[in-house]
Amino acid sequence: MPTTAARDSSRATPTRESGAVQTWNGTSAGHKWAIHQGSALEVLKELDSGCVDCIVTSPPYFWLRDYDVEGQIGLEDTVEGYVSALLAIMAEARRVLKRRGVAFLNLGDTYYSGKGKSHGSDAKSKKRRFGLRAVDKSGGLGIGLQRKSLIGIPWRVALALAEDGWVLRSAIIWHRKNGLPEFVRDRPSRTYEYVFMLARNRRYHFKKNELPDKIEEDLWTIRPQPRANGGLSTAPFPDELVKRCLKIGCPVGGVVLDPFVGSGTSVRVALDTGRSGIGIDLNGAFCRHAVRTLKARA
Ligand SMILES: C[S@@+](CC[C@H](N)C(=O)[O-])C[C@H]1O[C@@H](n2cnc3c(N)ncnc32)[C@H](O)[C@@H]1O
């Protein structure tokens, strides 16, 4: 694997602790994997430039979930703070991509409530933060939002990335067919999220004929799958989503990176489809789950 840690060892048990970063390496059917427990930004800084063919990732959404780990992104006080945290990570991710590399970034949106007080409990998810959240504070989040307004997070991030040097090639709609319905009466329920396709340069690896169905060009209908995340609150994306990204954007035999790997979906699918994988996550329990899954398939 193209990381310092991976050059050190190919054992499938914890191989190294450098500062706060712990790394596990392994091989599965001839393809290598590495899981790094640490901050995406710090771990990415340690990876060699141009060592990755494709990135498939789903960062924490803005104020949607508390991953219970120091240094997590997603709980910034401002939209600007969230966008710049992602920009910094994606700038390092761009450096580690090969010249013809492609990134797929899955993002969902958040509503501004502006209610101004804490609710104390949330029956929908224990992982949602109960205190006064930035999106509940009055003041329009500093960008003049009216209460109940959709913030437009995915496009704010995508446009900032384009201004930062990424080539924004596609805004794929992931239609979450038969997903859990939202209980809202005064607007349509949400049934989709974005998967932005970004290239490092204007010429990049892309296999258009690998799109699964000519009707499904930039609108991908994918049913949620039973969660393969060991009951952890990682908000995994479906295998099918990762498979489609890799088919069109990553050569077989290439190296896939996910800087927010959670339960390890993207690395597992990379190995399943004849590629190598590198995953990063701050949460130790998630990393250990990912490692157990990857070791089990060796
Ligand atoms: C939406 S989840 C990813 C789920 C993943 N796609 C899966 O299939 O399980 C986002 C992940 O980002 C991690 N995370 C949050 N802040 C991070 C940071 N600064 N560096 C690395 N990982 C971070 C969280 O622990 C969480 O696992």
Whole-model pTM: value is: 0.91
- pLDDT by residue (tens digit) across 138-156? 899 999 999 999 999 999 9
* Distance of alpha carbon 8 from alpha carbon 282, whole angstroms: 22
Taking 60 as the threshold, does the pLDDT of residue 269 lie above it? yes
CA of 297 to the centre of ligand 1 (A): 22
pLDDT (mean) for 244-259: 97
Of 4 and 118, more confident: 118
Alpha carbon distance 126, 105 (integer Å): 26
Separation CA 82–CA 288 (nearest Å): 27
With the most atoms of ligand 1 within 8 angstroms of its CB, the residue from 69, 234, 286 to mutate is 234
- Atom of ligand 1 minimally distant from the CA of 72: 16
DSSP 52-111: EEEEEE-PPPTTS-----TT-SS--SSHHHHHHHHHHHHHHHHHHEEEEEEEEEEE---B
Single out the residue of 99, 19, 50 nearest to residue 257, CA to CA: 50
Q: How many angstroms does the Cα of residue 214 sit away from the middle of ligand 1?
A: 32
Q: What's residue 4's pLDDT? A: 43
Kindly provide the residue ranges of all beta strands, DSSP E only, lying in the chain, ordered along the sequence.
14-18, 21-28, 31-37, 52-57, 97-107, 167-176, 192-199, 219-222, 255-258, 276-281
Return the residue whose CA atom lies nearest to atom 12 of ligand 1.
Answer: 260
In angstroms, the CA 52 to CA 59 distance is 18
Which residue has the CA at smallest separation from atom 1 of ligand 1?
A: 60
Nearest CA to ligand 1 atom 27: 262
Question: 203-244, pLDDT tens digit by residue?
Answer: 999 998 888 766 689 999 998 776 666 667 778 899 999 999
Nearest CA, atom 3, ligand 1? 262
Using the atom order of ligand 1, give the atom closest to the CA of residue 73: 16
- For residue 280, the ligand 1 atom closest to its alpha carbon is 21
| Predicted local distance difference test score (pLDDT) of residue 121 | 53
**What are the strands of the beta sheet with 276-281, ordered from one edge?**
14-18, 21-28, 31-37, 276-281, 255-258, 52-57, 97-107, 192-199, 167-176, 219-222
**pLDDT of residue 8 exceeding 60:** no
Residue 249 Cβ inside 6 Å of ligand 1? The answer reads no
Helix (H, G, I), strand (E, B) or coil at 238: coil
In testing the pocket of ligand 1, which one of 258, 281, 286, 291 has its CB within 8 Å of the most ligand atoms? 281
At 97-110, the pLDDT tens digits run 999 999 999 999 99
How close is the Cα of 115 to the center of ligand 1, in Å? 28
262 lines ligand 1 (CB under 6 A): yes
Architecture of domain 4-77+86-107+163-175+195-296: 3-Layer(aba) Sandwich (3.40)
Tokens 């949607």 found at:
64
Identify the pLDDT of residue 122: 53
Contacts of 226 (CB under 8 A, 6+ apart): none
Q: Is 279 in the pocket of ligand 1 (CB under 6 A)?
A: no
What residues contact residue 27 under an 8 Å CB cut-off, 6+ apart? Answer: 10, 12, 33, 298
Q: What was the pLDDT predicted at 10?
A: 35
